[in-house]
């Protein structure tokens, strides 16, 4: 085995420093390692310079500088590998959950909202912050790279939070998604293009990345703008909801006046049977209307995150941006739920039996709870009124049911 001369060892030591190795301990370790490799590889056919260059290639494309960077990273950022592994795992899990949630939602399977919410939550609070921290540490020596990391993180964070708000049907979702998209297009892309495109070997990759980002932001923005109900349609719908609610309150007041009028007549009438029928009708109607009123407050409280007392006082117009996340489970799946579609259906049927007993000739078609045909398919009463609908439409349908109850009560009063 050949041995290196003092001049050759000094040359290697100096070259190591020139190549960016500043740590004395690391410099000594590398010098010892390189000398051992060269002495082992030297023979009578190859000279020192050739073997030395071949040895440097063993350290990868970035050479000794990469070892220095990795050493600094380990010394100053001890939890790098843990955070890196956590970032990757959270990224895989969140992506899988979002993809599964979208598939479940497309097939109208239960649990879709939960999967998407947890996926977006993990992506937003775990994956993105860790990615930003790691990228920030890696690019701390370049102002341009730091700016790229910050703008990219803020843009991605706004878009993810906006999507999270959109799934939850909370206000401000569209503003955050559009803001994130604008920042991505006008802030991140120019910096990325300048910093990456200068490298001729990355021109194709950087161009493809820019095109994909622009296309993705454009599609997301388009979906955000067109997925909402047009303002004119929304105004017309809410006018109908408000007018239906006003009509309901008016009908209740009119029936109360009729009860007062009947009560005066009964005070001079000795017919206790008629009086008993009137009281029985009012009691049954009040009980059912109390249930529907509390059901509306309960469902609103679940979607808006407020108390039931606050939900009872909320204005209908405040539900314009509300959604229906989790309502299918409450209305159809949760056994512990105090209010469900089936319970309401049973209470309506019980009320109809009371009315039929008191006033047999009363028309009960306004409270029909049977199946009916929709687009050539038989649909149950529960599905048509509550399944896969936002809270606004569910409240509107309950108001329609309440109007039917009050109209039936009025018709029964005329028959008694």
pLDDT in tens, 162-206: 877 776 666 677 788 888 888 887 887 777 767 665 554 555 555
> Which residue is it, tokens 């687009």?
375
CA dist 164 → 168, 177, 372 (Å): 6, 10, 36
Which range marks the domain in which residue 212 is found?
77-227
**Phi and psi (nearest 5°) for 379?**
-120, 140
Torsion from C-alpha of 262, 264, 267, 273, nearest 10 degrees: 10
DSSP state of 333: I
- Going by pLDDT thresholds of 50, 70 and 90, the confidence category of residue 407 is very high
**Phi and psi (nearest 5°) for 153?**
-65, -50
Q: Rounded distance, CA 291 to CA 249, Å?
A: 16
Q: Answer yes or no: do 92 and 185 share one domain.
A: yes
- Report whether 358 contacts 416 (CB < 8 A): yes
Q: Answer yes or no: do 96 and 180 share one domain.
A: yes
- Report whether 93 contacts 306 (CB < 8 A): no
pTM (2 d.p.): 0.51
Q: Rounded distance, CA 109 to CA 228, Å?
A: 22
Q: Answer yes or no: do 216 and 268 share one domain.
A: no
Q: Answer yes or no: do 68 and 147 share one domain.
A: no
Among candidate residues 227, 254, 275, the one where a domain is terminated: 227
In 3D, which of 336, 335, 304 has the Cα closest to residue 320?
304
Q: Rounded distance, CA 77 to CA 68, Å?
A: 14
Q: Rounded distance, CA 148 to CA 197, Å?
A: 14
Q: Answer yes or no: do 294 and 377 share one domain.
A: yes
Q: Pick the more confident residue, 338 or 327.
A: 338
3-state SS, residue 65: helix
Identify the pLDDT of residue 387: 79
Q: Answer yes or no: do 187 and 241 share one domain.
A: no
Per-residue pLDDT of 98-130, as tens digits, reads 888 778 766 656 677 788 788 888 888 888 888
- Report whether 80 contacts 74 (CB < 8 A): yes
Please check whether residue 1 lies inside any domain of the structure: no
Q: What count of residues does the chain have?
A: 416
Range from 67-76, 211-220, 349-358, 363-372 that averages highest in pLDDT: 349-358
Identify the pLDDT of residue 182: 83
Q: Answer yes or no: do 136 and 153 share one domain.
A: yes
DSSP string for 366-380: GG--S-EEETTEEE-
Q: Answer yes or no: do 253 and 382 share one domain.
A: yes
Query: Mean pLDDT across the stretch 258-270?
Result: 73
Identify the pLDDT of residue 61: 54
Q: Answer yes or no: do 281 and 248 share one domain.
A: yes
**Phi and psi (nearest 5°) for 377?**
-125, 135
**Sign, Cα dihedral of 317, 343, 365, 288:** negative
Domain count, the chain: 3
pLDDT at 254 over 70: yes
Q: Distance between alpha carbon 139 and the CA centroid of its chain, in Å?
A: 31
């Amino acid at each position: 085995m050949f041995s290196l001369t003092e001049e050759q060892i000094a040359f290697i030591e100096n070259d190591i420093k020139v190549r960016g190795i500043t740590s004395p301990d690391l410099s000594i370790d590398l010098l010892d390692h390189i000398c051992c490799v060269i002495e082992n590889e030297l023979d009578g056919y190859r000279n020192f310079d050739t073997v030395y260059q071949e040895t440097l290639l063993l350290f990868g494309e970035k050479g000794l500088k990469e070892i220095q960077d990795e050493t600094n990273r380990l010394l100053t950022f001890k939890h790098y590998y843990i955070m890196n592994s956590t970032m990757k795992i959270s990224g895989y899990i969140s992506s899988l959950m979002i993809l599964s949630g979208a598939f479940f939602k497309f097939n109208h399977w239960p649990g879709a909202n939960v999967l998407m919410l947890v996926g977006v939550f993990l992506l937003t609070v775990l994956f993105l912050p860790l990615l930003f921290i790691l990228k920030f540490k890696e690019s701390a020596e370049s102002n341009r790279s730091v700016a790229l990391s910050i703008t990219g993180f803020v843009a991605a964070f706004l878009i993810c939070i906006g999507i999270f708000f959109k799934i939850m049907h909370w206000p401000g979702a569209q503003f955050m998604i559009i803001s994130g998209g604008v920042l991505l297009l006008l802030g991140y892309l120019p910096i990325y293009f300048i910093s990456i495109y200068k490298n001729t070997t990355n021109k194709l990759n950087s161009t493809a990345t820019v095109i994909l980002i622009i296309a993705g932001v454009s599609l997301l923005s388009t979906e955000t703008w067109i997925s909402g109900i047009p303002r004119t349609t929304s105004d017309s719908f809410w006018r109908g909801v408000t007018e239906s609610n006003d009509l309901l309150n008016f009908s209740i007041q009119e029936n109360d006046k009729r009860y007062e009028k009947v009560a005066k007549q009964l005070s001079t009438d000795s017919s206790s049977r008629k009086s008993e029928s009137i009281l029985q009708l009012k009691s049954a109607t009040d009980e059912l209307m109390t249930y529907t009123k509390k059901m509306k407050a309960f469902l609103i409280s679940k979607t808006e995150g407020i108390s039931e007392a606050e939900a009872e006082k909320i204005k209908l117009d405040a539900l314009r941006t509300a959604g229906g996340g989790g309502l299918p489970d409450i209305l159809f799946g949760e056994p512990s739920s105090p209010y469900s579609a089936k319970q309401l259906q049973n209470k309506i049927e019980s009320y109809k039996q009371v009315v039929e007993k008191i006033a047999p000739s009363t028309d009960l078609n306004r409270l029909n709870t049977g199946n009916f045909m929709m687009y050539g398919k038989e649909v149950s009463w529960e599905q048509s009124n509550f399944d896969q609908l936002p809270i606004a439409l569910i409240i509107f349908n309950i108001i329609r049911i309440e109007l039917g109850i009050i109209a039936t009560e009025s018709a029964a009063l005329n028959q008694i």
